[in-house]
Each structure stands twice: as structure tokens, then as C-alpha cells.
Chain A
Amino acid sequence: MESQLQEVGRTIHAALPGKSRHPLRVIDQRAMELASQDAELRAALFRFVDVTPACRSLDDLARHLAGYLEEVDERPPPIEAAMRMSGTRPGRAALGAAAAAGVRHMAHRFIVGESPRAALRPIRHLWEHGAAVSLDLLGEATVTEAEADRYAARCMDALETLSEAAPSWPARPVLEADSLGPLPRVNVSVKVSALTPLLRPEAPEVGREDAARRMLPLLRRAKELGAHLHIDMESVDTVEATLGLVFELLDEPELRAGPSAGIVIQAYLRESPDQLEQVLDWAARTEREQPLVVRLVKGAYWDHEVVDARQHGWTPPVFEDKRDSDRNFEALTRRLVESWPLARPAIASHNLRSVAHAVTVAREQGREDRDIEFQVLRGLGDDLAAALADLDHRVRIYCPVGDLVAGMAYLVRRLLENTANESFLGEQQRGTPIEELLAAP
């Protein structure tokens, strides 16, 4: 098994496109390399990106940037130059314009468009190149009923806009069926926390019920349109409500025949093996016609979970050693693949080892390659997606949609991930040898 895994890993690695393919990306890469080397600089960069949508003018933007850079002790020459520019009004206007352009550029790397309609062209482009997408609507936090309603309306619009456009896309057999049957072209991811202002960890049922009344029309519409609706997972505080919501709604008799739907398991959670068992138990009981898609991810709220737990004196709900998380990812992958066709596995990882492991386990279990989906994030996993598509694997790119204001929290999280020292992508960029990239965790 291990030797097959190594071979699969090397094959995927060899299929990765060369860096020269994306000349524009070099600029981002420079900034991120700078940021990952210096914690203070990284903090300044994040704080700046974070405040950008709240700034009212280029002058305001430049003042914020200078304010954050001031707290960096050792300033590399380009940063010093920026500080000098911030001293005068014309300097600030120029600096503000440059910084705004920089943030927009960075945002475009991770965010596919400002609206579903604006995203249609890049989505079609991806499809033509062998990658399906899941559309995710970025938004501000939902704190009112009106915001929850607006988010639900945006999801509805996304379902409809994509469904209108999708029939004109060319045939891509790898993306459109597995051995269990056809797979929808249209795929939208939704967040429970955005569907209700009432989601609170100590009373999950209240938020669950409120979110359910907005989720139900989305599921009904997805069924009519033949689209897939994926329910994302967020911080631990929302897991109980989210699982409960999915189990309850998808069991509704009117939804037995559809739509295709999915859920997420986060491998960094110590409780994720139990959660997966809960999902599989439910999947075994339900009378739904289509198997649930289970997207396996590492989890994107690690810092939040650890800090939150530390501040409260709790044991963090996440593995604190990355290797434990990676090992658990492999164990969950195996469990998921073995449980097929109870659930359709979707392996969402940028870690070459995890991906190669999943391919190998699936083959070892006698699954066809098309019975396992790979998912990556736009802006982070594009190269991996291209390589997997070249090798005829089924790939889906998670594509956030929204304006800068709505997308900022997402953007900051992605930047954090991309500049974290122990991230797989960081290692890959630093030229870590393939043996280490593929080493067992």
C-alpha cells in the first residue's frame, strides 16, 4: 500500500503545472513569502487586509497601513518606502491606491467574482478545463433576520443563475457521473450560521429551527433544478446544530428523491471519528435515494478553536499536533471509502500525501477513480486541481463569490493558511523534497 501511495503521489506531483504558468501569481507569492518570514509583518498585513473594506478613502487606507507597519520593528526596504510615502497627502494617495490594488488583486486570487453572474465566465472556464466547482456565497456575519433572508435569497439566486447557464457547458463525463449515477453540474455550498441570527452554542435547537425554515426552500429549489446543495461546517460551536439540521431536513419525505446534498467532516476535530459514525449511521437509516456526499476536510478554524479553548480553560477540541490531524485524515478517508456506497467521498485537501493516500485506498478497495471526488480551494489548490484533472480524477474547486466587504473574513483566513509555516503549501513552495511531502504523518 505504501509503495503504491508513493507512486501515485509522484505521478500527481509530476503533473503539477510549472510555476511559470501563472506570472501574475509571482507578485502575491513575494508578498506572502515576506509575510511568512516575519510574524510582525504578517500581523500588519492581516490587519490591513482586514480593515480595507471599512476605509473610506485612499488617504484613510494609507493611514491604516502606515499605522500597522509602524508596529513592525524590523522593516524591510519596501516597507520603509511605504512608511515614507505615508508622510504626505499625495504620498498617501499613491500608497492608498497601490495598497487597494494589492488587496483587490489578492482577493481576486481567492474570490471568483462579485456575484454568481459575474462568476459564470470563470466557472465555465474551469469546467472546460476539467474542474467542477462548488459556489460559496461570502457574506458579513448574520446578526439580523433581514441578513439571514438576504443570504438565503443570494443562495437561491446562485442556484438559479448557475442552473440557467450550466446546460450550455460542454460535456465532461468525468465530472458528471460516478458509478452510482449522474452528478449535478450545479453545486452550491451554504453556511448554517449565515441562515439565522440565532445560532448559539448553548441552545443549538433554536438556531437549527430558524435556519431550517430558510434551508428548506433552498433544498426544494435545488431538487427542482437538479442541483447539489452542500452544507458547510464551521466552528465547533455550530457542529451540533449543523448535524442536527442536516439529519432532520434531509429526512423530510418530500426530499427523499432529491436533491443531492452533502455534509462536511473536519479531521482536525478530536471528535470527528464519532461524527463520521453518526453521519454513516444516519446514512444507513435514511430512505433517501441519493447517497450523501461527505466532504472530508482538515478544518479551517484551528486558531479560533485553540484560542477559544485556552481562554476558557478547556481542552482544545482540535488536534494540536498537525501530524495527529494528518493521521486522522487518513483514518477517516479509509473509513469513508470503506463505507461506500453509503456515502460519496469527497476528499478536500491540498496535501499531496492525503490525496495520494485517498487514491490508493480507493483503488485498494476496488473503487473506480471516479467514485471519489477531490476538492480544493480556489487560489490555493489550483495547481493540484489541474494535475488531478489531467490524470482524469474528478475535481471540484470551492469558489467563493462576493465583494470585498463580504469576503474579508474569508480572505484573511486563506492568507493565514497560506503563510502558516507548517502548511503543506508553504512546504511545497519552499521546495521541500518530494520524499518529505509524501512521508507518512
Chain B
Amino acid sequence: MSTPAALAAFRNEPILELRRAPVRESLAEALRELDARLPLEVPAWVGGDRLRPGEGGFASTDPGAPGRVVADAARATEADAAAAVEAAERGFRDWSARPAAERAEVLRRAAQILRERRLELAALQLRECAKPWPEADGDVCEAIDFLEYYAAEAVALDEGRALVQVPGERNSMRYAPRGVAAVIAPWNFPLAIPCGMAAAALAAGNAAVLKPAEQSPGSAGALVEALHEAGVPRDALSLLPGYGEVGAALVRDPRVHVIAFTGSSAVGLEIVRASAETPDGQGHVKRVVAEMGGKNCVIVDGDADLDEVVPEVVHSAFGYAGQKCSAAARVLVHEAAADTLLERLAGAVSVLDVGQADRFATEVPPVIEREAQERVERYAAMGEPLARSERPLPGEGWFCAPTLLADLPDDSPVLSDEIFGPVLAVTRVRDVDEACDVIDALPFALTGGLFSRTPATVERAAARLPLGNLYVNRGITGAMVGRQPFGGNRRSGIGSKAGGPDYLLQFVEPRVVTENTMRHGIPVE
């Protein structure tokens, strides 16, 4: 298990000091180099077979310039999915037989490869997903963190757990990998999330088949390349760029043991339903790890320091155009602070810098695709905006003006649906208790925030709120591996915590061995 030693050895990869001009210049240079190489070619890896993008391939494009192709990817089919699972069953036998420490070493090597390529990888997701520099760099660091953290955790987990021992009997509890893991990943953390889920599966000794989001095959391709290069056997890790049908085929496949999914609630719940099917011949029950949506609220108490609240809330709501599962969607503000907060928030939203992701000044980049832009506009139109970013939007790209709405009717969909875009709604409440009632009534329970300077209020809210991650007197995004194990409760997720000490348990099955050590009435130990 997570021993102090494993934790002591872990350090988060430092993000770049973007406040230093030479660092910024090195990133701009990395982007120029990447641009000269575009479009990248992303193959499908099925076992050891490299399938090049042919006639049926697809492309990822720059959300800020949809005409620019970032990656040409092979489009995997359902038959490829079946072949990948078959290869994974083979790969599993060898990979799971290796000592945990040896697997951990491979993952650490992969971390080192990502470290050496970090500027290029940040540039890649800047182009492919319009992730601005600070967040693109943060994503690469998080991917490195997952590899290092799960490597250390897996070695600790391999030692098993202590059990009660009595004379004449020896009890041991160890953890064994489950088998083949299907990893179905989103585009919004295009390197970190697929990396985290795949690294956890691999560290624990499983084989993995990765189906990345169709919007970000390039980043996933770079990840799989690094893992293969580090020494993960090709049949223990396949890559299936493609669309929903490939993921669905993996979920249905009776040879898959674990499904690790991060994405929308609709798809997540469908996976939970489909994986419950246990046809004849399937010798196990599937385990689902699902991280889904949220409707994250920040409570602002009457005694909160608004100097802190405004920038933290604005960053939590509008950073990466609100496209983080942890992003702030609502503010529940104590009526005593409401007028001042609304005035200051409105002013702060109106000066948000909306622009292309490659500008260091950009705070709100374009959203990922046209469909997302239309969805955001639909919700933003449901109220009279208190503030919208006043700057002209770039002519090209899927841009949305950041929007602040307030005092919406209780039944407004803006208050309950996950919009996944730069829209923030403010609601007045009598006090923090009423705010807790509002959160309690939502089906989601992912992240949330509380700004209060009353110790008793903080304690009461922390005890009451069902959230997976509650942040007190700070922004609600930017969970760090090992420091803020991340994941939602209720309909936001099944309760696993990525980057935390419990996460690997989803990818293993516990085995207890009890041995009688008595021989002829004498304990032989």
C-alpha cells in the first residue's frame, strides 16, 4: 500500500516558470518546430502491427484554425479492437509475470521520455486542443506525475497488506492484476488523462488498449510511442484512434476485465450499463472506473475576501474556456456579499483575454469544436448576460465569448446541465447552509469551492458536502497528483481517485492465502 517511503520519493514535476522570458521563448520555438512538421501521422497499434492512416483515416484540426490539420490518424475498426484485445491477452501473460519493480522502471523511463519532450508535447496539445501554454505545460507535467506516482504505488502495493496472524497459520494478502484494461480517454487533458489511466493499468500488471478521443489522436500517439520506447511490450499496449464504435466494441468484448473511462455522463452511464452484461463464456465481472461530468459550485460566504475570490473564480470558470471537469460553473454567494461580488466579477469577466492558444496573454481559447461552440451559445442565450468579454472574437476558430449570468430562474437548464464551456452563473443564497442545500440537490458531486473566513463554517461545510474534491479559499481546478487525488462522487464518478493512494486498487484483485503451518501438532514456521 501507499507507504510513507513511496510518498517521500514522489515529487510533482515542476511546471515551467512562464514568468521568465527565456522560458516563454523556448516554448514559442518548440511550437515553430512542431508547426513545420504538421500534420503528424498517427498510426493505430494493434499488438505489434502498425496500421498507417490510409483511405479511411481521419484528422484532428486546430480549434483556433479549423483549416489546419494537426494529425492524420488511422481510423481503427471494431475488428481492430478485437485483434487488439486478443494481442493484449497474449501481452498480459508476459507483462504481468514481470516483477512489479521492473514494470515500475519501465514507467519511470516513459516519464523521462516525456520530460525530455515536454516542450514539444505541450506545443502539440496547444495546436490539437487549443490548450494555452500554462495549461498545456501543466498537462504534460501531470502525465509525468501519473507515471512516477503509479510506479511507486505499484511497487508498494505489490507487498500486500498486513493481516492478523495466529500460531499455526500464515495469512497473506496480495494483489494480482486483472487482465486486459480498456482505456477510453477524453480530449480535454489529451496527454495526462490517457496517460494516467493507462499507466495505472500497466503499473498494476494489466495489459491496456487505449482508445483516445477522436479530437486528440496526436497526443495519444505521442504517449503510446513513449511507453513503447520505454519498454512496454507492443502487445501489452495497443492504440486505437477512432470514434465511438471502437470504444463500444472494447466495452462489449468479454475478454476485457477493466474499463477505465473519463468523459461525458451519457457515455459513462452507457458503459456502466453495457459492462454489466456477463455473457456465457465471460469468466469474470467487469470492473468500471468512470469519471464523468460535474456541475461545480463555488460558495462565497459573507466574510470572504473578494480580492481572492474574483481572480480564483474567474480562473476556475474560464481557464481553458471552462473545458475541465473540475471547472466552476456556478457561484453561490451570500446575499451580504452578492452585489459587490457581482460588480467585481462582471468587471473581471469583461476584460478576459479571448484569443488563440499560442498567445501567452490568452486566458480563454476557442472551444474544441463547432458543436461545442453551438452548445455554449445556446446556454449563454438563456439569460441576460451581466457581462460578456468585450473584446472582438477572432474571426476564425470555435470561439465563444465568456459569459456571466446571474439571478436565473431555479429551473433554468444553465443551473443544472453541464455546459462545459465559458459560462458562469451566479445565484444569491441566504447563507452557506442554503448553498450546501443547493449543492446537495444536484446529481453531480465532483469539485466545489468554499470561500469563508469562519473556521466553524468551513468545518461544517466540509462535513456536509458530498463532493469528491472540495477546495477552501482557493480555485477549484488544477488538482495535483499525490496532493489532491481527483475524482467525483454520486453521478460524477464511481469514487475512484486518480493520483491517489486508492486508485490502483481498481486495477487489481485481492488474493488471500492462508496456510496451515502445523505439522504433527507442532507449528513449523
Contacts and interface: CB of A to CB of B under 8 A. Distances in A.
Contact of B302 (A56, A198, A200): A56
Interface string B2-44: 0000000001111101110100100000000000000000000
B134 interface: yes
14 contacts: A54-B304, A55-B303, A64-B303, A67-B454, A141-B308, A143-B314, A143-B347, A144-B350, A201-B19, A203-B360, A203-B361, A237-B19, A240-B21, A312-B17
B141 to A, nearest CB: 9
Given A47-B453, A141-B311, A147 B347 contact: yes
B456 interface: yes
Given A50-B453, A198-B353, A202-B19, A143 B311 contact: yes
Interface string A374-398: 0000000000000000000000000
Contacts of A240: 19, 21
Contact of B336 (A56, A143, A206): A56
A64 B454 contact: yes
A32 interface: no
B17 A141 contact: no
A405 B372 CA distance: 42
B454 A313 contact: no
Interface in B325-357: 336, 343-344, 346-348, 350-351, 353
Given A144-B347, A144-B348, A198-B353, A313 B11 contact: yes
A64 B453 contact: yes
B149 to A, nearest CB: 14
B303 A202 contact: no
B347 A67 contact: no
Interface in A135-183: 140-141, 143-147
Interface string A47-61: 100110011100010
A438 to B, nearest CB: 37
Interface residues of A, number: 36
B455 interface: yes
Contact of A313 (B15, B359, B453): B15
Nearest to B310: A143
A400 interface: no
B336 A50 contact: no
Given A143-B344, A203-B360, A197 B351 contact: yes
B17 A314 contact: yes
Most buried by B among A51, A143, A205: A143
B307 interface: yes
B135 to A, nearest CB: 11
B12 A313 contact: yes
Contacts of A54: 302-305, 453
Most buried by A among B15, B19, B302, B336: B19
Interface in A42-81: 47, 50-51, 54-56, 60, 63-64, 67-68, 70-71
Contact of A145 (B17, B307, B347, B454): B347
Contacts of B19: 201-202, 204, 236-237, 240
Contact of A202 (B24, B308, B346, B456): B24
A365 to B, nearest CB: 34
Given A70-B455, A240-B21, A141 B307 contact: yes
Most buried by B among A47, A67, A240: A67
Contacts of B189: none
A203 B133 CA distance: 11
Nearest to B314: A143
Interface of B: 11-15, 17-19, 21, 24, 133-134, 302-308, 310-311, 314, 336, 343-344, 346-348, 350-351, 353, 359-361, 453-456
A206 B21 CA distance: 14
B14 A144 contact: no
Most buried by B among A143, A202, A203, A204: A202
A359 to B, nearest CB: 36
Given A145-B347, A198-B353, 11 more contacts: A54-B303, A143-B307, A143-B314, A145-B351, A147-B344, A197-B347, A200-B361, A203-B360, A204-B19, A240-B19, A409-B307
B433 to A, nearest CB: 15
B305 A50 contact: yes
Contact of B14 (A67, A140, A206, A312): A312
Contacts of B360: 202-203
Contacts of A204: 19
B14 A314 contact: yes
Contacts, number: 89
Contacts of A70: 455
Nearest to B346: A144
Contact of A51 (B134, B336, B453): B453
Contacts of B307: 140-141, 143, 409
A70 B15 CA distance: 38
User: 10 smallest A-B Cβ distances: which pairs?
Assistant: A144-B347, A313-B14, A201-B19, A203-B361, A202-B18, A141-B307, A203-B360, A51-B453, A54-B303, A143-B310
Nearest to A196: B351
Contacts of B303: 51, 54-55, 60, 64
Contacts of B314: 143
A197 B15 contact: no
Contacts of B351: 144-145, 197-198
Interface string A23-42: 00000000000000000000
Contacts of B344: 143-144, 147
Contacts of A314: 14, 17
A143 B311 CA distance: 7
Contacts of A143: 307, 310-311, 314, 344, 347-348
Nearest to B311: A143
Contacts of A145: 347, 350-351
Contacts of A47: 453
A391 to B, nearest CB: 41
B460 to A, nearest CB: 12
A202 B134 contact: yes
A205 B24 CA distance: 13
A47 B13 CA distance: 32
B26 to A, nearest CB: 13
A202 B133 contact: yes
A182 B211 CA distance: 74
B302 A63 contact: no
Contacts of B361: 200, 202-203, 205-206
A71 B453 CA distance: 13
B25 to A, nearest CB: 12
Contact of B15 (A67, A146, A312): A312
Contacts of A60: 303
Interface string A8-21: 00000000000000
Interface in A296-350: 312-314
A205 B353 CA distance: 13
B91 to A, nearest CB: 35
A144 B19 CA distance: 22
A112 to B, nearest CB: 22
Nearest to A409: B307
Contacts of A51: 303, 305, 453
A409 B305 CA distance: 10
A64 B453 CA distance: 8
Nearest to A67: B455
Contacts of A312: 14-15, 17
A343 to B, nearest CB: 24
A55 B359 CA distance: 41
Nearest to B359: A203
